[in-house]
Amino acid sequence: MKALSDIKKVGKQTLSLLHKLSIETLEDLLFYYPFRYDIIKRSDLKNANQDDKIVIDGVVGTIPTVFYIHRNLNKMSFKLSCEELLQVTIFNRAFLKSHLTIGKKITVIGKYDKKHHQVVASDIYLKEIGNQIEIHPIYHMVYGLSNHQLHQIILEALKEDLLLEDNIPMVYQEKYHFLSKEESLNILHNPKDIPSLKKARLRTKYEEMFVFMLQMNYLKKDKKNKLGLSRSIDRLLIDSFVSNLPFTLTEDQKKAVDQIYEDLTDEKRMNRLLQGDVGSGKTIVAVIAMYMNFLSGYQSALMAPTEILAVQHYQTIQKLLEQYPIKVALLTGKTKAKERKEIYRDLENGEISILIGTHALISEKVMYHNLGLVITDEQHRFGVNQRSNLKNKGLTPDILYMSATPIPRTYALTLYGDMDISNIRTKPSGRKDVITRVKSEKEIRDVLEAMYEQLKEKHQIYVIAPLIEESDKIDLTNVNDLYEHMQKAFGKVCTIGLLHGKMKNQEKEEVMDSFSKNEIQILISTTVVEVGVDVPNATMMVIFDAFRFGLSALHQLRGRVGRNSFTNYCYLISNQEVERLKIMTQTNDGFKISEEDFKMRGSGDLFGVRQSGDMEFKVADFRRDFNILLKAKEDSEEFLKENFDDPICQKIIGKMEHLD
């Protein structure tokens, strides 16, 4: 296959922008799928309401007039004749004037002012839309590269002679009448109609899930993978450790500890999932597990999904182990070379007993003296790959996965058939539910007043919106606008911070840090804060356009507050009534929410916001697409059994073993 730089329109600068999106090869580029599609369809003005976003075609009725307001701002106006005579205004498109001759057929997209027969346009196409629909792929972007530019580059790449590896065996391609891989790739990036887009997505989802389930099934079969370490652990020492904790364990915590003790002392390898809501007290269970592992003479590694969380775990754990002769170290991408070297050395000679960090812990060339236990926080982010990765190092440590997005048991068993599960359902006493209310945008005053109450109490607030910047095509709240609004409302009484995915890591961390130090009182953010830090003083979560989020995402976001003894609130702002939001007001129990989420799966629309945090599929969503997963599971089991030597099978298994 050609190199990325061989593609037309990819110069040096573009190349470095693509790198920022982790696109390094032509394949990366082709598999950089849109995360959403905008559908452009002619509106019916009769049924449109004041301030609706409309798409309307018609003919230019008057010669446009242009005003230059200042150097970077111009305003153009003209009349469009369609079902009515509309006054169109658009900013900064003076360059279109020469194309907009009287009688020219065009399409205008914008906000409809029904009362005054006006539209403030965000876009003008120099053609009619008629009865057609247009589907525009929308990609996650970086500054400096527009959605349009990236789309053009991908279209160029698609012209290449592609030799794509297909992971779906022929039998299943035929069984389900799937589109070919090339075809579906073309459609994903350049859809013409919804039915074919659905087909292309179905094929892609199945492929992702087939690969995943085949790897899972392979690991399940692999007997060698199941033999663990034998060890003896003095139960009395554990009991005394537990009784020295500043609190008493809850019943569920105790049970989890017992189960882990059984697992570790058994010669069978531990492969356990510890599920519980945020704040249910999983971390302490993990610490006890690491203490057991220490007592039996082995090292532990704890992996967090982000650097911020790794640091937090490190601080908590160090404190808890203060009085014990256990050396704990932190290894992240930020660790300085000199310190890193020392850590490598002390790991290898066995002086460090507990290493905490990001997945660098196992993917780097880190040599352990005798790694006996690996714990991952938010297991969805660590796939089967890491598991076999350890195996390749000749290590068979026990494994504990922690997850704050509980999956109902039946589903968990389907996904991870070979895994044991401990659930922590009860929260430590003293924890109250977060009071949750749904408000429409018209009721925003109530929300602002409630925010003001919290600020008066010197508490902190998270405000979440789905978008970063204004989008021409969809009418959703974005954090930039929100920042301005909040600045107007509260700028005098507190400091407001802004956080989103396009910021550099360092900037993000600085903002998070200021928020945890209470230098910032209102943090406006996209969902990057989802797997975020622990700021106990935050008592309120406000989520704009809440209908855009899935139940688990909402629950995760709400879990950012309620980490204190105050009364905590969550406001879900939405102009659409959806069942999900009602469920949120009724329960704080992550297990119940997860079950509801599964019950409703399939009801989510094709073009909704992807839920984050669940598995590492690009297109598939294991909740919404659970039926596809079931098929993929069945098929991959069959394929593995009957066609183990098939190149596709070997390739998929090989893939997980050759990751470094």
Q: Which residues bind Mg ion (CB under 5 A)?
A: 283
CA pair distance 123, 55, nearest whole angstrom: 9
The nearer residue to ligand ADP, 246 or 394, going by C-beta atoms, is: 246
- For residues 459 and 567, what is the distance between their CA atoms, to the nearest angstrom? 11
Q: How far, in whole angstroms, is CA 376 from its chain's centroid?
A: 17
At residue 106, what are phi and psi to the nearest 5 degrees?
A: -140, 170
CA distances from 535 to 523, 583, 659 (A): 11, 25, 36
Concatenating the DSSP letter of every residue in 5-66 gives GGSTT--HHHHHHHHHTT--SHHHHHT---SEEEEEE---GGG--TT-EEEEEEEE-S--EE
276 binds ligand ADP (CB under 6 A): yes
Nearer to ligand ADP, 279 or 357 (CB): 279
| Rounded (5°) CA angle 632-603-37 | 85
Interacting residue with ligand ADP among 284, 447, 523, 551 (CB under 6 A): 284
Q: Interface with ligand ADP includes 249 (CB under 6 A)? A: yes
Nearer to ligand ADP, 49 or 565 (CB): 565
Question: Measured between alpha carbons, how far is 313 from 531 in angstroms, rounded to an integer?
Answer: 13
For residue 276, the partner it binds in ligand ADP, Mg ion, none, with Cβ less than 5 to 8 A by kind, is ligand ADP
Judge contact between 635 and 626, C-beta under 8 A: no
Q: Minimum distance from CB of 131 to Mg ion (Å)?
A: 52
Q: Check binding of 228 to ligand ADP (CB under 6 A).
A: no
253 binds, among Mg ion, ligand ADP, none (CB under 5 to 8 A by kind): ligand ADP
Which partner in Mg ion, ligand ADP, none is near 184 (CB below 5 to 8 A by kind)?
none
Identify what 354 binds: ligand ADP, Mg ion, none; CB under 5 to 8 Å per kind: none
Which one, 302 or 463, has the nearer CB to ligand ADP? 302
Instruction: Give the integer Cα–Cα distance in Å for 154 and 9.
Output: 10
Interface pick for ligand ADP out of 34, 169, 279, 466 (rule CB under 6 A): 279
135 binding partner (options Mg ion, ligand ADP, none; Cβ < 5 to 8 Å by kind): none
- Report CA-CA distances (Å) from 24 to 3, 5, 28, 142, 655: 9, 10, 6, 15, 18
The reply to whether 380 sits near ligand ADP by the rule CB under 6 A is: no
Binding to ligand ADP by CB under 6 A, coded x per residue (else -) over 434-473, reads ----------------------------------------
Q: Which region holds residue 118: left if phi is over 0, alpha if psi is between -120 and 50, else beta?
A: beta
- With binding defined as CB under 6 A, does residue 282 bind ligand ADP? yes
- Residue 60 and residue 127 in contact, taking contact as beta carbons nearer than 8 Å: no
Q: How far is CA 157 from the centre of its chain?
A: 27
Under the criterion CB under 6 A, does residue 247 sit at the interface with ligand ADP? yes
122, 217, 283, 423: residue in contact with ligand ADP (rule CB under 6 A) = 283
Residue 237 tokens, joined: 């020492």
Of 277 and 614, which CB lies nearer to ligand ADP in the complex structure?
A: 277
Which of 271/283 has CB closer to Mg ion? 283
> Tokens 């905008």 belong to which residue?
38
Pick one of Mg ion, ligand ADP, none as the site partner of residue 521 (Cβ within 5 to 8 A by kind).
Answer: none
Site string for ligand ADP, 391-410 (x = CB under 6 A): -------------x------
Residue 250 contact, options Mg ion, ligand ADP, none, Cβ 5-8 Å cut-off depending on partner type: ligand ADP
- Which position among 107, 186, 225, 253 is part of the footprint of ligand ADP (CB under 6 A)? 253
Smallest separation (angstroms) from Mg ion to the CB of 424: 11
The residue within the footprint of ligand ADP, chosen from 280, 300, 353, 526 (CB under 6 A), is: 280
Judge contact between 509 and 308, C-beta under 8 A: yes
* Least distance CB 378 / Mg ion (angstroms): 8
**Residue 62: which residues within 8 A CB-CB, separation 6 or more?**
78, 79, 102
Angle at 261 between CA 255 and CA 265, to 5 degrees: 155
Least CB distance to Mg ion at residue 304 (A): 8
Closest CB to ligand ADP among residues 250, 525: 250
Minimum distance between the CB of residue 283 and Mg ion, rounded to whole angstroms? 5
Residue 428 in contact with ligand ADP, rule: CB under 6 A: yes
Q: Which of 518, 522, 543, 515 is nearest to 454 (CA)?
A: 522
| Shortest distance (Å) from residue 286 CB to Mg ion | 8
Contacting residues toward ligand ADP, per CB under 6 A: 247-250, 253, 276, 278-284, 404, 428
